[in-house]
Every structure is written in C-alpha cells, then in structure tokens.
C-alpha cells in the first residue's frame, strides 16, 4: 500500500515537473511579442533582417538583433512588402491537426497509465490476485497480523484459538471424524476489530487469507455475484486450509424477501449457501463473516453447518482500552510518563479503531511540536480533536458572549462538583471546538453498567446547570443550552419509560413514541392516551424539579460561579487540578462546607444504554 502511494506521488511529481519544464522551455524559447502594426512599421522603415513564417505566426529579428514574435491576420498581405524590402523569408507548414491530435493522444495515454496503476493496485497492493477493479481478493502468506495485535476482546479470541488449531492440525480432526466448523460470524459495532481478528487467525495458522467485501459481490448484472462466489470458493478449496473473510456480509446475506425484489442478491446468497454446504470437511475452508447488523441476516445463513459459531465483538471496557492502547503505542515513541489508564478512562465508548486513530493523531501532534516522544498532553489534544473537532480559536465571539459561555460552563462544573455521585470533572474550556462553543468534560470514574437514580437525577442537574447559571447571572435564556436540554429530557424520559423509576408511574415499561426500544421503534399505541399524558407530565415534573433544585444550589453558591467564571475567562481552559484549587479556596472561605453526600443510592440494573459521558457541549 505504502509503495503504491509513493509510486503514485512520484508519478504525479514527475508529471508536474514535466508540465512546469515544458512551460519554462516555452517561455525561454518564445521571444517577446511585438504588435502587428509595429512589425509593419519596422518593415517599412527597413529595420527587418529575416523572418520565419509558420501559419499565422511570424518570428524574426531586426537590425538591432532583437528577436520578436508577432501574428499576422493575413500573411499574403505582408509578402509583397517583405519581397520589396529584401528580407530573408523562411516558410514552414503550420502544425498539422495530426500532430496536435497525436500530442493529445500521448497525453491521455500517460494520464490513463497513471490512473490504471492506481486503480489496479491501490487497495490491496501486491497481494491482490484478481485485478478486477470491483472485486478484489487479498491473500497471501504475507499475512502478518497475529493475536498479539489484538487486544481487549479476550473471550472472543479464546474461542477463535480453537479455529487456529483446526486449521493447523486439520488432519488430526479429520482422522477423528470430528466436524470442523465451517463458518464463524463475528458481529459487533464498527471498528471493534472483526477484520483484524480474521486476519490474525490466518496469521496464527499461517494459512492463506482471502478477504472480500459483501457489497463487492452485488453487481448490476444478474448472475455475476453468484459466479464470483463460485470462483472465490473454487480458489479457496484449491489452497485449503485457508480462511475466507467476507466483510459486511449483510450486503448479500440479508433476509430474502418474498416479493423477489432483488433477484441478483438472492442468487448470490443462494450460491453462497450452496458453496457452504458443498465443501467437505477435508477441505478445511473456514468462512468468517463480519456484520454490524446480525438482525437482518437471512436465517438460512445461521443454520447449523453454516455460520454455526456466532461471536459478538463488543466495544472494549476500561481494561480492554488500556490493552489496545498498549498494542498501538508499541510502534510509537512514548514518554515514560504516559499513563495509559488515565487515557483509557477519558475515552469511554471508543472502539479499537478509534483508539488506533487516537494514538496516530497524538503521534502526529507530538511530531508537529518537535517532540522526541508522545506525551499526555498530546493525547489530550488528540482526543479533543477527534471528539469535538478542531479548536476554533479565531471564531469571532464578542466579549459578552464569551462571558455568557464562561458562566454557563461554570454552572455545569459547579453542579457536578457539589452534587454526590456525579462523574469526576476533567476539564472546562471556553475555546470553541467543532460545533460546541464551550465545554465541560467529565470522566466516568469507573466503568459503569448500571446507574443509580441519584446519578441520573444529578446528571440532569449538571446538564441544566449551564442554563440555570446563565439565568441567575444574566437573567436571560439563550439557545446555547439546546443540547443540554435535549440530553436532560432524554434521560428523564427514559427514567420514566424504560427504567421504571418514576414514583407515580411505577416499575412499568412504556414503549415511548420516540424511543428505539429493543431494536424496533415502538409507537405510542402501546399505552393509552391517558398514560401518554401522565408520562409527559412526569417527564416535565422531573425536569422542573431538577431545575428548581439546581437553581437553589447555584444561588447558594453565587460567589463561586463568579470566581470560577473569572478564572475561565482568564485561562480559557482549566483542568481538574485547577478546578479543585478554586473549589478549595472557596470552600475554606465559606467554612469548609462539604458537598452533601447523604442521599441513598438506588442500584438499577441494565442501564448500560446510557451514553458514556463524552463532555457537555454548550
């Protein structure tokens, strides 16, 4: 891949240099232009020595030795004058259309050549064995990934070790008559390492690896996909034991419809099923399919003897993220002070691919800063860049708006700091980034799978804290809190409808109209109009109560809002340590008041669906 890119760049450079060189040469060889009338005047005044005529172009030099070029509307008109003045005349034929066409043809051939080289070799480099542009298979003993490159998904990896053993010792299994599994379906969110796992299996077992995207099978023409399936498996069987990996298998494997709307895809799927049933156990071809949408797969694919192993690859937890960070920081120079656990804590919800990207981005930032090794602040900045977009330091924000933002963020931060069971504050900034004008970031301290009612209510209050602070200080409402309010409403709604935490509505699930529930969008029809009203009222009550409590809390710490906002206005970004200093100064001035941590936590199961706290944009 890298070689191709280099080659491509080299070719582009060559072309650019060529074009530049040609232009310079043209400039050098083209004498300064003289107007036609000036030329005729010179001719009449006997100042011409010799001219060369080509088409309408006249080049020549005068008695002073100066060269020039001019263009004549009608050469025959100047000929008598040239004759009369005894100027030496050379005539050559104008460039024929043929030469022009040849030039064009040559140029397009060069361009076409470059394009061909790119399109043929770009995706899979030297391992590509089918050079059809749309349909590429990568194979090769060159598979260098191993299980050492995969981290954070140990259970899945453990299951797959067995497959490696099948591939390595297939004779043993064949002798014993055991049936080797034919297909493994890896399902899970994007970027969690499904492709990587498949490659690592091939690498561990040192067998050929054929990789193809599901959508590559589906063509405009009926029958093409099916024949490609046969071709692929024909090839695989010849080189068994081997692994065939089909990414996005849902593109061909989704449920067949009775309407017969997509015949081509069905033919392809049928061919795949036939092939899977077809290969016998002494041809150890293991098919690995990957999908993020297992729910749409045709049940026929999941029957025993086909994809009989189904493994879920989920997003890594805290420890998993640390391990993945370890894998990816192996190739970069990192400073000894790097705390991977701290980094992993700050990136809940990141997939393996996100982490790989983060490490790369941090390394780039460190390089830009001329550092010898990647440090914590490089990671911090890389994370912000990925999560929130780039800093917009030059965004035109007037002074009053800046103040509003500072007080808004201070409001979020103070509520988070004063209430119990809230996520730890990580950073506050009033530098606009991406869509956000300012930001208060919190880090969930430990991996949370369940959330208490207190946590959820306090999270709503933290979200509302920005707007409430604005109201207290400026006595106005602004649109800056739109996202906060949406997030707060969402939590309140789910609290009532999904988690059965409302006192008046009780522990009942209400499939609320806007909520995606267990995969399908439920409609309001699941409960009565009266209940719907009650839900609305209850959600509103929660938000109103939380707003009132937040306001009470912030009003009683009015001075703290001003202090924190002033620090923010000066420093723009402050981290956890600095926030603590401001808090401590304030606390000791008011007599060591401690946050009230007496409320009782109520554990609630299965609330993992709450989005990880990724910061609260204004």
Ligand X SMILES: Nc1ncnc2c1ncn2[C@@H]1O[C@H](COP(=O)(O)OP(=O)(O)OP(=O)(O)O)[C@@H](O)[C@H]1O
For ligand X, the binding residues (CB under 6 A) are 150-153, 190-196, 247, 290, 292, 324, 327, 352-353, 356
Task: DSSP for 483-503, please give it.
Answer: HHHHHHHHHHHHHHHTS---T
Q: Annotation-wise, does 192 bind a ligand? A: yes
Contact at 8 Å (CB) between 61 and 87? no
Contact at 8 Å (CB) between 438 and 429? yes
Q: How far is the CB of 227 from Zn ion (least distance, A)?
A: 57
How far apart, in whole angstroms, are the C-alpha atoms of residue 28 and residue 569?
60
Residue 32 structure tokens? 């300064």
Q: Which is nearer to ligand X, 191 or 438 (CB)?
A: 191
Residue 604 structure tokens? 């609630």
The item of ligand X, Zn ion, none sharing an interface with residue 324, based on CB under 5 to 8 Å by kind, is: ligand X
Find the angle CA(491)-CA(496)-CA(497) to the nearest 5 degrees. Answer: 95
Residue 476 structure tokens? 């106005």
Q: How far is the CB of 413 from ligand X (least distance, A)?
A: 34
Q: Annotation-wise, does 412 bind a ligand? A: yes
Reply yes or no: is the peptide bond before residue 241 cis, omega within 30 of 0. yes
The item of Zn ion, ligand X, none sharing an interface with residue 193, based on CB under 5 to 8 Å by kind, is: ligand X
Q: Annotation-wise, does 295 bind a ligand? A: no
When CB distances to ligand X are compared, the closest residue is: 352
Q: How far is the CB of 454 from Zn ion (least distance, A)?
A: 21
| 498 is annotated as an active-site residue | no
Task: DSSP for 71-120, please give it.
Answer: E-S-HHHHHHHHHHTT-EEEEEPPPPHHHHHHHHHHHHHHHHHHHHHHHH
Q: Annotation-wise, does 408 bind a ligand? A: yes
Q: Annotation-wise, does 189 bind a ligand? A: yes
Q: Which is nearer to ligand X, 324 or 567 (CB)?
A: 324
How far apart, in whole angstroms, are the C-alpha atoms of residue 591 and residue 595?
12
How far apart, in whole angstroms, are the C-alpha atoms of residue 439 and residue 452?
25
When CB distances to Zn ion are compared, the closest residue is: 466
Q: How far is the CB of 290 from ligand X (least distance, A)?
A: 5
- Bridge partners (DSSP) of residue 70 are 58
How far apart, in whole angstroms, are the C-alpha atoms of residue 143 and residue 73?
69
What per-residue string of b and e applies to 573-585 under the rule 16 or more CB within 10 Å gives b?
ebebebbeebbee
Residues 6+ apart with CB under 8 A from 131: 120
Q: Which is nearer to ligand X, 48 or 251 (CB)?
A: 251
Q: Which is nearer to ligand X, 327 or 472 (CB)?
A: 327
CA dist list (Å): 322 to 194, 316, 319, 352: 19, 9, 5, 10
Q: Which is nearer to ligand X, 195 or 489 (CB)?
A: 195
Q: Annotation-wise, does 191 bind a ligand? A: yes
Q: How far is the CB of 408 from Zn ion (least distance, A)?
A: 6
Q: How far is the CB of 405 from Zn ion (least distance, A)?
A: 9
Q: Annotation-wise, does 304 bind a ligand? A: no
The item of Zn ion, ligand X, none sharing an interface with residue 253, based on CB under 5 to 8 Å by kind, is: none
The item of Zn ion, ligand X, none sharing an interface with residue 327, based on CB under 5 to 8 Å by kind, is: ligand X
Lateral strand order in the sheet of 183-187:
209-213, 242-247, 285-291, 183-187, 309-312
Footprint on this chain of Zn ion (rule: CB under 5 A): 466, 484, 618
The item of ligand X, Zn ion, none sharing an interface with residue 142, based on CB under 5 to 8 Å by kind, is: none
The item of Zn ion, ligand X, none sharing an interface with residue 618, based on CB under 5 to 8 Å by kind, is: Zn ion
Q: Annotation-wise, does 239 bind a ligand? A: no
Phi first, then psi, for residue 521 (nearest 5°) are: -75, 115
Q: Which is nearer to Zn ion, 320 or 438 (CB)?
A: 438
Q: Which is nearer to ligand X, 44 or 293 (CB)?
A: 293
CA dist list (Å): 157 to 90, 149, 354, 493: 83, 11, 20, 38
The item of ligand X, Zn ion, none sharing an interface with residue 387, based on CB under 5 to 8 Å by kind, is: none
How far apart, in whole angstroms, are the C-alpha atoms of residue 14 and residue 282?
53
How far apart, in whole angstroms, are the C-alpha atoms of residue 465 and residue 544?
13
Q: Annotation-wise, does 188 bind a ligand? A: yes
Catalytic residue among 248, 266, 409, 551: 409
Q: How far is the CB of 186 from ligand X (least distance, A)?
A: 7
Residues annotated as catalytic are 409
| Residues in binding site | 188-195, 408, 412, 484
| Residues in binding site for ATP | 188-195
| Residues in binding site for Zn(2+) | 408, 412, 484
């Amino acid at each position: 891949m890298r070689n191709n890119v280099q080659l491509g760049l080299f070719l582009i450079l060559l072309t650019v240099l060529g074009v530049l060189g040609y232009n310079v040469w043209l400039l050098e060889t083209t004498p300064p232009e003289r107007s036609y009338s000036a030329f005729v005047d010179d001719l009449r005044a006997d100042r011409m020595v010799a001219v060369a005529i080509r088409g309408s172009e006249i080049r020549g030099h005068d008695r002073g030795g100066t060269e020039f070029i001019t263009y004549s509307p009608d050469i025959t008109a100047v000929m008598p004058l040239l004759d009369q003045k005894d100027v030496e005349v050379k005539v050559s034929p104008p460039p024929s259309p043929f030469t022009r066409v040849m030039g064009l043809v040559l140029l397009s051939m060069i361009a076409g050549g470059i394009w061909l080289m790119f399109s043929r070799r770009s995706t899979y480099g030297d391992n590509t064995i089918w050079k059809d542009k749309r349909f590429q298979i990568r194979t090769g003993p060159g598979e260098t990934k191993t299980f050492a490159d995969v981290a954070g998904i140990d259970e899945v990896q453990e299951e797959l070790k067995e497959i490696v053993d099948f591939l390595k010792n297939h004779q043993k299994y064949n002798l014993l008559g055991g049936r080797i599994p034919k297909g493994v379906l890896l399902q899970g969110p994007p970027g969690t390492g499904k492709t990587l796992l498949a490659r690592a299996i091939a690498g561990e077992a040192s067998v050929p690896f054929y990789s193809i995207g599901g959508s590559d099978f589906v063509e405009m023409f009926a029958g093409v996909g099916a024949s490609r399936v046969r071709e692929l498996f024909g090839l695989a069987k010849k080189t068994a034991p081997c692994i065939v990996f089909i990414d996005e298998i849902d593109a061909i494997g989704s449920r067949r419809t009775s309407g017969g709307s997509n015949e081509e895809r069905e033919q392809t799927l049928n061919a795949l099923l036939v092939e899977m049933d077809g290969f016998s156990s002494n041809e150890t071809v293991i098919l690995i399919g990957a999908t993020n949408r297992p729910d749409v797969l045709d049940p026929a694919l999941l029957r025993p003897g086909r994809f009989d192993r189904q493994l879920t690859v989920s997003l890594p937890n805290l420890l998993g993220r640390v391990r993945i960070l370890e894998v990816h920081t192996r190739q970069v120079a990192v400073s000894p002070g790097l705390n991977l656990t701290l980094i992993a804590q700050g990136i809940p919800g990141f997939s393996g691919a996100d982490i790989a990207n983060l490490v790369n981005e941090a390394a780039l930032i460190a390089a830009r800063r001329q550092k010898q090794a990647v440090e914590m602040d490089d990671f911090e900045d890389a994370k912000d860049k990925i999560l929130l977009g780039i800093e917009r330091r030059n965004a035109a924000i007037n002074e009053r708006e800046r103040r509003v933002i500072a007080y808004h963020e201070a409001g979020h931060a103070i509520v988070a700091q004063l209430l119990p069971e809230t996520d730890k504050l990580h950073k506050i900034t009033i530098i606009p980034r991406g869509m956000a004008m300012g930001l208060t970031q919190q880090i969930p301290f430990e991996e949370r799978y369940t959330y208490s009612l207190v946590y959820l209510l306090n999270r709503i209050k933290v979200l509302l804290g920005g707007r409430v602070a604005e109201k207290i200080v400026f006595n106005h409402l602004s649109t800056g809190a739109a996202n906060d309010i949406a997030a707060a409403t969402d939590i309140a709604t789910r609290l009532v409808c999904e988690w059965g935490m409302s006192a008046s509505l009780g522990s009942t699930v209400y499939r609320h109209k806007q909520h995606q529930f267990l995969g399908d969008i439920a409609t309001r029809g699941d409960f009565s109009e009266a209940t719907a009203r009650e839900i609305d009222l209850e959600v509103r009550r929660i938000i109103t109560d939380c707003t009132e409590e937040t306001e009470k809390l912030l009003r009683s710490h009015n001075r703290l809002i001003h202090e924190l906002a002033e620090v923010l206005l000066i420093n723009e970004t402050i981290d956890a340590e600095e926030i603590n200093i401001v808090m401590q100064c304030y606390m000791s001035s008011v007599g060591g008041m401690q946050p009230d941590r007496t409320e009782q936590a109520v554990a609630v199961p299965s609330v993992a669906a709450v989005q990880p706290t990724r910061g609260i944009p204004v």
